[in-house]
Amino acid sequence: MSNIKLTADEMRYIALLETLTGAVAKDCIYEPKENRIIFVIRPGDMGLAIGKNGINVEKAKKFLGKKIEFVEYAEDPENFIKNIVSPAKVRAIKITKDPSGNKLMQVTVDPKDKGIAIGKNGRNIVKAKLLMKRYFDIDNVVIL
C-alpha cells in the first residue's frame, strides 16, 4: 500500500468522511465513470462508517453528491476479497500465476450469490479488480 497516491479530492473525501462518521478511512478511490467513491475502512470501523440504519452513508451521499461504497480492509487477500464481494457467500479462493507471471484470483461464490458478487454491469468485479491490484498486486479477479 505504500505506493498508493491520493488526489487532492480523494484526500478531501477522506477528511469529510472521517468528520461525518468518526470512522477511519485507509483509502479512497473516486470513479467518475460510475460517479462513486469507494472508501476502504479501517477494520472494526464499518459500523461507524455506515451508521444506524445507514444514516452516515446517506449523509455522505447527500453531501458529496456521489454514490458511496465502503469496504472493510483486511491484511490478507482472502479476507479482503470476502469483504469486497460481501454479502455474497465465498466458498473458495485460489490465487495462481499465469505463464507470464501475472497473479490471478479465482473466487468461487455460492451460485445464488454470483449476481451480487459481479454486480450490475460488472461494477462489483471492477471494484474487486481495482482494490486487489492496488493492495495485493493481483492482476485479475474472476468470479466463479
| Consecutive H or E run containing 56 | helix 55-64
pLDDT of residue 113: 96
Beta strands 103-109; 140-143: pairing state: parallel
Q: Chain centroid to CA 5: how far? A: 16
Overall fold of domain 88-143: GMP Synthetase; Chain A, domain 3 (3.30.300)
Residue 2 has pLDDT above 90, yes or no: no
- Provide the pairing of β-strand 25-31 with 36-41: antiparallel
DSSP string for residues in 100-116: TS-EEEEEEE-GGGHHH
Domain definitions of the chain by residue range: 8-72, 88-143
pLDDT in tens, 29-72: 999 999 999 999 999 999 999 999 999 999 999 999 999 999 99
Dihedral (Cα; 51, 82, 38, 144), 10-degree rounding: -130
CB atoms within 10 A of CB 47: 13
The CATH superfamily of 8-72 is: K homology (KH) domain (3.30.300.20)
pLDDT band at residue 101, thresholds of 50, 70 and 90?
very high
Q: How far apart are CA 48 and CA 137, in angstroms?
A: 29
Q: So what's the pLDDT on residue 4?
A: 83
> Do residues 92 and 86 touch, judged by C-beta distance below 8 A?
no
Which pLDDT value is given to residue 3? 76
> How high is the pLDDT of residue 75?
96
